[in-house]
Amino acid sequence: MLDNFHLLRPWFLIALIPAIILYVLLRKTKDYKQNNWVNECDPHLLVHLISKSKLKGNSLIATMIFISWIIAIFALSGPTWKMASQPLFQKNMARVIGIDVSSSMNSTDLSPNRMERAKYKVIDLLKTIKEGQTGMIVFSSYPFVVSPLTSDANTIINMVPVIDTNIVPVQGSNLNRALIKTSQLITQAGFNQGEIILITDSVPDNSSLATAKQLANQGFKIAVLGIGTTQNTPTINASGGFITDNSGNIVFNHLDTIALSNLAQNGNGMYVPFSEDNSDIKTLTAFINSDASNNSRALNNSQKIWQDDGVNFIWLLLIAVAIISRKGWLEQIC
C-alpha cells in the first residue's frame, strides 16, 4: 500500500505555510513574559495576575487548531494508495459531414470563395464536437469518403485544408447520392441511425427530397448549412475562369434557401443559413448536442482510476473540531 501512496492534488500542501505561521503566533501567548503586564507590574505581583492555566489552554488550543488544519489540507490534497474501476460513458451518436465540392463552390459571393468559407465552418464545427463518432465525405456528381467514422475529430480537421473542387474527377451535383453514401457510412459503422450534416450550395431535386424523408423515417436527421448568397453569381471553375453553357453564356447560380430548407425539413432536421460570425456553428452545435443528449450509454469496459481517499479523513477533522468547539475553549485565545 505504501508503495502506491501519493497525493492527487499535492499543490494543496502550500496551505501548510499559513498554518505554521498561525501556530507559531498562537504559541507565543504561552510565555507570560511577553504579556503587556510585564512592563507595568512588579515581578513579585506578576505571577498572581497572569493565569498559567490559561496559558496552557492557549498552547493546547493552538496545537488542536494546527492539527485540524493539517488534517483538512491532507484530505484536500487527495491521498490515494489504490485504484478503482469506473464505468465509461459516451454519447452513442454517429454523424457524417458532407462537403459539396461542385464547381459552384468556387463562386466569390463569399470572400475569398464559397469553398474556403465552407472549410472554415467545417473546422469550427469539428472543434466543437467532443463526443460520439464523426465521418466525412465530399461530393459533386458522386460522393467520396474522406474519413470513416472516428472519435478523433482532430484527424478529420487535418484533412479539411486539402479539400478543393478539383479533388473529385467528375463535376456536377447530386445530393441524392451524397445522402445515400452518408447513411451507408453510418450503418457500416454499426449504427442504425445518426446525423447527416450537409455543407452545400446545391439545389436538391425530387429524388434527394424523397431520400431525405426516407432516411428520416429510419431515424436519421439531416441538417443543412447553406453556403452562399441569394444573389446571382457567376459560376467559376477550379482554374478561376467562368463556366459557360453550350451557347457560350456565363452560368450564374444563387443559393436556393427554400429548396434547402425543404430538404432539411424532409430529413427531420434543420436548415442553417451561412453567417459571417459563428452563430451558424453555434446553432449546428446545439442541434448536435440536443440530439446526442438522448443517446448516452455506458461502455462495456471500465477505466481504472486512482481512488481519492481524502474523504475518509473528514471524520478525524470532525473529532478535532468538536474538541476545539467545547464550551469555554475558544475563550482561551480570544
The three grid cell numbers given for residue 162, joined into one nine-digit string:
486539402
Query: Which of 43-47, 271-275, 297-301 is most confident?
Result: 271-275
Q: By C-alpha distance, which of 116, 141, 142, 293 is closest to 199?
A: 116
Record the pTM. Answer: 0.62
* Between residues 192 and 326, the one the model is more confident about: 192
Residues 68 and 142 in one domain: no
- Asked whether residue 274 falls in the same domain as residue 133, the answer is yes
Same domain? 37 vs 99: no
**237 shares its domain with 317:** no
The whole-number average pLDDT for the span 282-300 is 67
Asked if residue 143 has a cis previous peptide bond (ω within 30° of 0), the answer is no
Average pLDDT, integer, range 245-273 = 87
The reply to whether 41 and 125 lie within a common domain is no
Q: Are residues 290 and 180 in the same domain?
A: yes
Is residue 185 domain-shared with residue 36, that is, in the same domain?
no
- Residue numbers of the domain that contains 53: 2-82+307-332
What mean pLDDT value characterizes the chain? Answer: 81
Count the domains in the chain.
2
Average pLDDT over residues 20-28: 76
How would you label 122-139 residue by residue, b for 16+ Cβ within 10 Å and e otherwise? bbbbbeebebbbbbbbbb
Per-residue pLDDT of 263-279, as tens digits, reads 999 999 999 999 999 99
What span, in angstroms and rounded, lies between the C-alpha atoms of 180 and 27? 79
Q: pLDDT tens, 89-138?
A: 555 688 999 999 998 898 888 889 999 999 999 999 999 987 789 999 99
Task: Tell me: do 12 and 39 sit in the same domain.
Answer: yes
What is the rounded CA–CA span in Å between residue 249 and residue 171? 19
Q: What is the CATH number of the domain that holds 205?
A: 3.40.50.410
Q: Same domain for 243 and 327?
A: no
Grid look-up 475553549 returns 329
Within this chain, do residues 181 and 164 fall inside the same structural domain, yes or no? yes
**Contact in structure between 228 and 274 (CB atoms under 8 Å):** yes
Cα distance between residue 320 and residue 149, in whole Å: 56
On whether both 94 and 78 belong to a single domain, the answer is no
Q: d(Cα 5, Cα 182) in Å, to the nearest integer?
A: 50
Same structural domain, 73 and 142:
no
